[in-house]
Structure 1
Amino acid sequence: MAGTGVPLRELGLVLLVAAAITYLCTGAVRSLLVRTGRVAEIRQRDAHSQPTPQLGGVAMFTGFIAAIFLAQQLPALTRGFMPVTPEMTAVLWSAAAIVLVGIIDDLYELSAMVKLVGQVVAAGVMSVLGLSWTLFFVPAGDGTTIVLDQVQSTLFTVFITVLLINAINFVDGLDGLAAGLGMIAGAAILIFSLTVLHDQGGAVSAYPPAIIAAALVGICAGILPHNFEPSRIFMGDTGAMLIGLLLAAASTSASGKINMSLYGGVDMVALMSPLIVVAAAVFVPVLDLVWAVVRRVSHGKSPFAADKLHIHHRLLSLGHTHRRTVLVLYMWVSAVAFGAVSFSIVPPAAAVTFTIVALVLAFVATLIPLRQGKIGRKRRPTTVVEHVHPA
């Protein structure tokens, strides 16, 4: 991927700056919250035993802003900004909107409906300012590219964005889980964007998703040392919703703006790779979200009600430790996401082999407690943070 038009060094610098600023700011935010007493008390549905600050998302947003500002100053990345494209401006304003909603929620705990309205507004801002789905590829017959009108584009963009925001929010139940999954998903989209930049000779449409994904990987990597078990600070809904929105932004920019008829692959999987990569990258969070809503509604409960039946809870019940549960979920998401993106990089046979091996390894890791006979044994209390999430 070292071909003409691929700014690898610049994107790497954006990623590193996002990680460094987030890491440094997270410590500062934690210190400020502790000194001012802004530490979340233990709620009835929480399982952690110590009050813990939960505004790590503010540090992540700071790292994101710093990374985007740097990217705008680098000549090799200016094609991703105004006046060439409005997408990065749209991302910045929508990210600011979702962070504002998250901060208020983390401090005062908004109702599920108010939070949902805030998410819709943030998604709408992104679409109105110029980052929305305009093309949709239908793999029927010889393949058809549907051009969405303004209303269809806005509605579809808002739906996808709100879905991903809540998918990440739902899965944010164990220390380091949401940040790790966001980092993996962002890396998959980044690799795909670099592939498009290489194959299409530096296409302008691939710059915004590459920049967004690089910054997303960086902020997730930056908070993980603070957030991995045992966590010293939670990212809160501020951070989880920011990750979801940035994933939606990168996904929309990569899949909803690139005409797939221009993509060089003749294999259907390669041709559909933008949508497959995006879907694969968020497969586990979305599955958990849909599963939770169906489960709650089928039992006559509100889809907003918190419970302890998420995928990570089931892995804990199976006998995994806190850290191993998180690592197992990392393996599943990596297998699906990088398996999908491999179809855009290597021959189909090699991609299929890689995907199968990765999935088998994830499956074997999931069943480790069965082989060790740990089901039913008591485990030490784990830090499980439950939120009330709008579906």
Structure 2
Amino acid sequence: MRVYLFVAAVAGGITWLITPLIRHVAIQIGAVGKVRARDVHTIPTPRMGGLGMLCGFLGAMLFASRMPFLSNLFLSNHQAWVVMLGAVSICLIGMADDLWDLDWMLKMAGQLLTAVFVAWGGLQIISLPLGSLVTASPSISITITAFLIVASINAVNFVDGLDGLASGIVAIGGIAFAAYSYILARNSPSYASMATLIDVAMVGICVGFILHNWHPAKLFMGDSGSMLLGYLITCASIIMTGRLDPASIHASIYLPVFMPILLPILVLFLPVLDMCMAIVRRLAKGQSPMHPDRMHLHHRMLRIGHTVQGAVLILWGWAALIAFGSLMILFFRARYVAIGMGVAVVLLSLATMYPYLKHRIPEIREENALERAQHASGGMTGDPQGPRK
């Protein structure tokens, strides 16, 4: 465990140190986001922070490749190098969008090509645990893998609307993934150890970047960052569950991630939910699924009265509840987990709706008081609408 924590610290340290330089470069080359109608920030802010996160991730992975405990992961197979090459590719596509605002179809084509390359390089969902082990054909494996990577990339991209929101949600999901894969790694399956390594490095770059991205942000991660995070968390989940045989693992351990297809959705529940709602909403209006608007979950939070920091913290809380809820089944009985999650849901619901209730309850009281006053006045003055004897 200490080795993984050290890797996370290296990733976070590199990201934190190099991000100010990336900010300076972004300003020099014109990668500065203009204030658009849907944006929350009010002043132009440099983006392309994903380049600093990429440097942190690559630096941590190269550092890990020289560590005796982890070096075998890089020698026994080439998955780590495939993941790193894919990370460079997806970050470069995001940087191009940060600079030139690529058409969404062109950007998605680049995402798909990267996903297919990674799947072709060996990062695939080989088995689907649907009650019994189902071995997919190579073409089906590549298709499913590419779909999951592209979907997760865009889910994180959709939720990246407030300072620190996307990086915090992905960090929470990465911690949950890392904890679960570390439990499996105790039985020494190499793929679980690789998943843990990717997760802890990803958590490190998220934490290192948040230190510069907390509101008011000095730098945005841009598409280069949100696409990178969506890519990495999906790669880790595929490595961890894509070859997992449910017959070889106790049911109590396998239950939280019963289906590899559902695993990214479980941990990235909020981004996936926001993405699905946005697609349905836009298609219902006859718009493109990628048409921007101000109806995302974080926009709704601000609209009912939350501050940017408050909205981010509450959404982090929801993400943590969903991500760690299944993980708790490994350590506690299901009914206790259900009770704890129920209490947490109530508390988070109250926190979410507090600004709305704070303003709405006095209004309701004033309306009720006015109605009572009108009713009493009508009864005493003989108003035709008042009570009659």
- 1:65 maps to 2:58: yes
| Inter-CA distance 55–258: structure 2 relative to 1 (3 Å threshold) | same
- The CA RMSD over aligned residues, in Å, is 2.1
| Inter-CA distance 375–13: structure 2 relative to 1 (3 Å threshold) | farther
Deviations 1:21-76 (A, max 9, x none): 00111111112333555433333443422111101000000000011011111111
Counterpart pick for 2:329 among 343, 353, 365: 343
2 CA distance for matches of 1:76 and 1:135?
Answer: 28
| Inter-CA distance 217–375: structure 2 relative to 1 (3 Å threshold) | farther
- SS across alignment from 1:173: coil
- 1:145 maps to 2:133: yes
Contact 1:161/1:244 (8 A) holds in 2: yes
Counterpart pick for 1:208 among 178, 190, 194: 194
Amino acid at match of 2:138: Q
2 CA distance for matches of 1:278 and 1:22?
Answer: 24
Deviation at 1:369, TM superposition (A): 1.1
1 CA distance for matches of 2:29 and 2:89?
Answer: 25
Partner of residue 160, structure 2 = 172
Contact 2:171/2:202 (8 A) holds in 1: yes
Contact 2:40/2:162 (8 A) holds in 1: no
2 CA distance for matches of 1:189 and 1:282?
Answer: 11
| Inter-CA distance 266–36: structure 2 relative to 1 (3 Å threshold) | closer
Deviations 1:69-106 (A, max 9, x none): 11111111134223x23221121111111011011110
Deviation at 1:361, TM superposition (A): 2.4
- 1:229 maps to 2:215: yes
| Inter-CA distance 34–350: structure 2 relative to 1 (3 Å threshold) | same
Partner of residue 246, structure 2 = 260
Deviation at 1:323, TM superposition (A): 0.9
| Inter-CA distance 357–53: structure 2 relative to 1 (3 Å threshold) | same
What's the % identity of the aligned pairs? 35
| Inter-CA distance 375–135: structure 2 relative to 1 (3 Å threshold) | farther
1 CA distance for matches of 2:31 and 2:203?
Answer: 28
| Inter-CA distance 79–375: structure 2 relative to 1 (3 Å threshold) | farther
Counterpart pick for 1:114 among 106, 113, 138: 106
2 CA distance for matches of 1:374 and 1:215?
Answer: 44
Deviation at 1:344, TM superposition (A): 2.6
2 CA distance for matches of 1:81 and 1:136?
Answer: 26
- SS across alignment from 1:120: helix
Deviation at 1:318, TM superposition (A): 1.5
- 1:184 maps to 2:172: yes
TM-score, normalised on structure 1?
A: 0.88
1 CA distance for matches of 2:360 and 2:18?
Answer: 40
2 CA distance for matches of 1:370 and 1:278?
Answer: 32
- 1:158 maps to 2:151: no
Contact 1:273/1:343 (8 A) holds in 2: no
Amino acid at match of 1:116: M
| Inter-CA distance 133–267: structure 2 relative to 1 (3 Å threshold) | closer
- 1:281 maps to 2:267: yes
Partner of residue 304, structure 1 = 290
2 CA distance for matches of 1:60 and 1:30?
Answer: 12
| Inter-CA distance 127–275: structure 2 relative to 1 (3 Å threshold) | closer
Partner of residue 387, structure 1 = none
2 CA distance for matches of 1:170 and 1:59?
Answer: 20
Matched residues, number? 363
Deviations 1:279-304 (A, max 9, x none): 32111100100110000001111111
Give unmatched runs, 5+ long, in structure 2: 364-389
- SS across alignment from 1:367: helix
Amino acid at match of 2:21: A
Contact 2:246/2:254 (8 A) holds in 1: no
Partner of residue 372, structure 1 = 358
Partner of residue 361, structure 1 = 347
Amino acid at match of 1:113: M
Deviation at 1:374, TM superposition (A): 6.8
2 CA distance for matches of 1:9 and 1:26?
Answer: 26
Deviation at 1:160, TM superposition (A): 0.4
| Inter-CA distance 368–129: structure 2 relative to 1 (3 Å threshold) | same
| Inter-CA distance 268–13: structure 2 relative to 1 (3 Å threshold) | closer
Partner of residue 87, structure 1 = 79
Partner of residue 388, structure 1 = none
2 CA distance for matches of 1:216 and 1:163?
Answer: 18
Q: Between Structure 1 and Structure 2, which shows a larger proportion of helix residues?
A: 2
Partner of residue 278, structure 2 = 292
Deviation at 1:272, TM superposition (A): 2.0
TM-score, normalised on structure 2?
A: 0.88
| Inter-CA distance 135–95: structure 2 relative to 1 (3 Å threshold) | same
Contact 1:213/1:250 (8 A) holds in 2: yes
Indicate the larger mover: 314-323 or 213-222: 314-323
* Larger RCO (CA under 8 A, 6+ residues apart): 1
| Inter-CA distance 208–269: structure 2 relative to 1 (3 Å threshold) | same
Contact 1:174/1:312 (8 A) holds in 2: yes
Deviations 1:244-268 (A, max 9, x none): 0001101111121221221123587
2 CA distance for matches of 1:324 and 1:229?
Answer: 11
| Inter-CA distance 44–359: structure 2 relative to 1 (3 Å threshold) | closer
Contact 1:277/1:340 (8 A) holds in 2: no
1 CA distance for matches of 2:48 and 2:294?
Answer: 23
Amino acid at match of 2:25: L
